[in-house]
Amino acid sequence: MRLELGHIIIKDVQFGDVSKVENGTLYVNKAELRDLLLQDDHIAEINIELAKPGESTRITPVKDVIEPRVKVSGNGGIFPGVKNKVKTVGEGRTHVLKGAAVVTAGKIVGFQEGIIDMSGVGAEYTPFSKLNNVVVVIEPKEGLTQYEYEAAARNAGLTAGLYLGELAKELTPDEIEVFETKPLFEQANEYPELPKVGYVYMLQTQGLLHDTYVYGVDAKKIVPTILYPTEVMDGAILSGNCVSACDKNTTYHHLNNPIIKNLYAQHGKEINFMGVIITNENVFLADKERSSDWTAKLTEYMGLDGAIVSQEGFGNPDTDLIMNCKKVEGKGVKTVIVTDEYAGQDGGSQSLADADKAADAVVTGGNANEVITLPPMDRIIGMLDYTDTIAGGFAGSLKEDGSIVAEIQIITGATNELGFNKLTARTY
């Protein structure tokens, strides 16, 4: 599959009488977008606000982040199986509002939603502080279950992302990136002298608001399978989970997966990038055994020499990570695992809940238990009344002056396990 991503660079966002993109500015008709989102009868009220880099603004509790995109040519549409028909995507031309995002916020769904600060020390821990954000604050109708509320919030974010993405359909991109992966045997023969490398993409699927969707299907119901990398860039994988904010893969992360982009960057130079194996993270041992067996089998079937394995979440999924690593290595395929750490506030505790000698090549996104002080902000989009109980917070986290003392796991994307962050650690 060959996919062209046409980037329309967004340098500013403003409200306007007409939604449009002009001279690098995204103009949003607030009333029109609000009316569109209020068509969902699960939502009582919608408030739309703008948050720009460098502002003294705190967005919380953050549920998801979505990059506006639109299909210009090729099969299907963005977010297939959810917002468009179930068509295989990943080819043709897709336009992207690069530098803009939709952020969903509102009353807390679970206990693991996070914070985006647009300035100050907290802004350095999240990539979303660098974006021009259209924030959709959702007020659910009374009586909704957590699952109904999460689904309504997810749908609102995707709808807003499509609404803004459509503004780019007829525009001329500022730049175009091209990505291509060929059918398996053809791809293997293209660079026979280079090591064949694949990507094992672990998806959070533990249920209880810990879900990810593939072509609209809850990924806990799948067995591991192979995707073209370009399918991911067209919205085949969507976030639907409320795991700890620091290492949750938002929909924006999936659309812009840096492991995929970096493998493409090395393709034809140092490696032959063969494709993506998606697998789930399970609760029961039998399911973990099944998925890790299938994952290892697929690396063998693809004839891989090496694989990168990325995790989402922590604790229980550490076992899925290590099982994948151990079994893939058992097939003679070298692995590098990408994770983060929960090593205690002093950094002295065991970083992962599971381990194996096969996991001898590890990239970490940092220690999520590190404590940070976030300064007060002039403007709050959302609400702070949950701060002491959210994952990463504790009794007394929210101070009288509006500052927050908490672990960095409270910050959206701080220790992301795709490497979409600044933190890591090295052994000397």
* pLDDT tens track for 63-102: 999 999 999 999 999 999 999 999 999 999 999 999 999 9
Please say if the pLDDT value at position 428 is more than 70: no
Residue 390, exposed/middle/buried by CB under 10 A (0-12, 13-18, 19+)? buried
Q: pTM here?
A: 0.96
Provide the pLDDT for residue 332: 97
Choose the weakest-confidence range: 53-62, 70-79, 201-210. 201-210
| 390 band by pLDDT with thresholds 50, 70 and 90 | confident
Provide the pLDDT for residue 111: 67
Q: At what angle do helices 285-301 and 316-330 cross, to 10 degrees?
A: 30
Q: How many CB atoms lie within 10 A of CB 261?
A: 14
* pLDDT tens track for 104-149: 999 888 767 899 999 999 999 999 999 999 999 999 999 999 999 9
| C-alpha dist (Å) from residue 352 to 42, 197, 342, 365 | 39, 25, 7, 12
* pLDDT tens track for 240-291: 987 789 999 999 999 999 999 999 999 999 999 999 999 999 999 999 999 9
Mean model confidence pLDDT for the chain:
95
Question: Considering the chain, what percentage of its residues have pLDDT values greater than 70?
Answer: 99
Please say if the pLDDT value at position 364 is more than 70: yes
- In terms of DSSP H, where are the helices of 250-310? 251-255, 258-266, 285-301
Please say if the pLDDT value at position 60 is more than 70: yes
Q: Which residue has the higher pLDDT, 386 or 80?
A: 80
- Under a CB-based contact definition with an 8 Å cutoff, are residues 21 and 97 in contact? yes
- Known catalytic residues? 242
- 3-class DSSP state of 343: coil
- Under a CB-based contact definition with an 8 Å cutoff, are residues 278 and 229 in contact? no
Provide the pLDDT for residue 387: 87
* pLDDT tens track for 316-341: 999 999 999 999 999 999 999 999 99
Question: Considering the chain, what percentage of its residues have pLDDT values greater than 90?
Answer: 89
